A = this chain, B = another copy of it.
């Protein structure tokens, strides 16, 4: 591609290493990436070594190899994942000596033509095996970061009507805009955005609502918040004051729901990529925190199986608020990638909760959901209202017409 593209890609690598990861001299860097993202992995490796990393350990996933398992693998293969590897990775990440980077560029719907039962079983095996790895990441033991890379498979699904090169170039423009890499000083732009996210976070923490009520566009949902919940957004801090930014882009503030206190009906406003299948027109009804009715226009069976992976998979582990005027929402594009679509609007996540969303010292953790899965599903749209309810039953407007008013 052009020199301009190369310049921007290097800026993305620098942003990821210096601001996203904030890698420390003496740390290793473990990278997971699609094989198609090799170019970015190389640039990130170079930037990581410049920043003092002692080793770069790239681990590539490949669509063709993933598909080979479903096309040619035995039933035993479908139910198997290499737990020993995830245990070793998890133990190492927990030491904080190894930072972790994920490059997001999966092909949406890669497994759409595979048997949904096999897809669900493989997903369950993978979730179970990778638990120690994911626990180490969300447990804030080490600095980590996710950045996007436009793979041919991703671009082809987002802009299906364009020629391959045009689709990739078009998606890159969105990616560079959303990651602020098209701005003269991306880090300064991110610091400015984080200041606004911190303002929202602090206002919500001060309000300490008992529940949030979402209404509009068919949604009428009350999400009870965990007692002692904490709102988080923007960057994170671990260990001895190492600040890092897990997700680039990020536009959300999020907290922990009470696993037993969600009631009503959620109409999901974007298709969800679940276990390699695109689930469209998802509607879920909740009672006592549990999804009691799941319907979808397509992929319903995959969604139903996925949300019954375990007991916690049918309950909420996260609720997040995003302004409808965020750059990603404003693009009007469906990215078919959680890193983008979750930042295009308010969402709730099925499955595992983040312990960091509880204030320190909170002893009663009965409200905290546990699951092998964690899956964000979008409920945001331009007419969504969000109302906070405090312990005295008072109602406080939080968002009106998709925008923050708190």
Contact = CB atoms under 8 A, between A and B. Distances in A.
Interface of A: 25-26, 28, 35, 38, 41-42, 45-46, 49-50, 52-60, 62, 64-65, 68-69, 71-74, 76-77, 80-82, 84-85, 87-88, 91-92, 98
B42 A57 contact: no
A25 B41 CA distance: 34
A94 B103 CA distance: 32
A98 B92 CA distance: 21
Nearest to A69: B49
B82 A68 contact: no
B38 A62 contact: yes
Contacts of A46: 68, 71-72
A16 B71 CA distance: 20
Contacts of A71: 46, 49
A56 B72 contact: no
A62 B35 CA distance: 11
A36 to B, nearest CB: 10
Given A62-B38, A88-B85, A69 B57 contact: no
B65 A53 contact: no
A54 B55 CA distance: 29
Contacts of A84: 88, 91-92
B53 A77 contact: yes
Contacts of A41: 62, 65
A65 B85 contact: no
Nearest to A80: B54
A91 B85 CA distance: 11
Contact of A85 (B35, B38, B45, B57): B57
Given A42-B65, A68-B42, A82 B49 contact: no
